[in-house]
Amino acid sequence: MKAFSDRLPSFPLFVSAARPDAFAAACACGTDMVVIDLEDSVAPDSKAAVRRIPESALPKQRSVKLYLRVNGIGTLWHRDDVAFARMAGVDGVVLPKAEGAPALVALRAALLPGQKIIAQIETARGLSRCEEIAEVADRLALGSLDLCEDLGARHTRMALLPLRSRLVMAARLAGSLPPLDGVTVSVTDDAVIADDAMHANELGFGGKCLIHPRQLAPSRAGFRARPEDLDWARHALAADDGALPDAAGEVQHSPVAVRAQRLMLRGQWPMDEELAPAGSGANAKGAAAKGGLSGKSRRKGRSR
């Protein structure tokens, strides 16, 4: 079984395909991945038209990964979306409402070699098959709002706890990257966003989906190692090397050292002002003034 990746957490920023004026700002905000959304944020009568992305909409030089969220399998637009993803040569696709491995195998065959698949678990059927989906997708992502709606459950942490934990376990058993947590609805309450990210981090998620650049800094804060964790990690590593007595009475086996090393890696994570490209703050503010990037209607709340 593969060990969990030591990569930095990922924060995919979703941008409506109907907002090509926002693509450059999204790529410049400092996140590691931008997802151009052809699904929820685009009206049915515009889904074909938004595939004609202006060449000038995306920066010629970019360091972020670029994904497309295609429309779901069985919809009128799925096949053409996948063909567009292949032609455009994006880094990968996000598949909404993934519900089984055979469909993902067919999707991979339709993509270019090397293009990745992030499978969103958004339905009860998809959740019931998340272990087999994790075996064939490159990564899982939780669509908590749609999943709670499908289950008829309240969108609360208590209701989502077993669902989140199952995704983390499925990804671990498949030896894939830790899953991505769903979005926090609020884009203005930094404390709520950071707390949601910290909760996802505690459960074993490997990042969080975003709908606005303003969510990036507090989400990163939620995944950053805390000072008390770094103190424990330094002690654990020193004790593991025999430099300190095991005063705390902890048995310094290899899982302890691995966790300590992971925390130390998080502790070396650059602060947001070091990660964000020059001018990204202005871009984010401009996007906020236009009502955000995702194109979805917003209401105050949290991912829970």
Greater confidence, 297 or 119? 119
Residues constituting the chain? 304
Mean pLDDT across 271-300: 44
Residue 192 has pLDDT above 50, yes or no: yes
Query: Which pLDDT band, with edges at 50, 70 and 90, does 259 fall under?
Result: confident
Mean pLDDT across 139-151: 98
Helix H, strand E, coil C: the string for 162-188 is: HHHHHHHHHHHHHCCCCCEECCCCCCC
Q: Where in the chain is the domain with CATH 3.20.20.60?
A: 12-224+272-289
How many whole angstroms separate alpha carbon 89 and alpha carbon 69?
Answer: 14
pLDDT at 131: 98
Query: Which pLDDT band, with edges at 50, 70 and 90, does 273 fall under?
Result: very low
Least confident of 24-28, 30-34, 222-226: 222-226
Query: Which pLDDT band, with edges at 50, 70 and 90, does 237 fall under?
Result: confident
pLDDT at 286: 43
Q: What is the mean pLDDT of the chain?
A: 84
pLDDT in tens, 70-103: 999 999 999 999 999 999 999 999 999 999 999 9
Query: Which pLDDT band, with edges at 50, 70 and 90, does 205 fall under?
Result: very high
Percent of the chain with pLDDT over 90: 67
pLDDT at 159: 97
User: CA 177, 182, 187, 191: dihedral to nearest 10 degrees?
Assistant: -80
**CB distance 3 to 206 below 8 Å:** no
Q: What is the DSSP string of 89-110?
A: T-SEEEETT---HHHHHHHHHH
Q: Which fold has domain 12-224+272-289?
A: TIM Barrel (3.20.20)
pLDDT at 235: 77
Residue 185 has pLDDT above 50, yes or no: yes
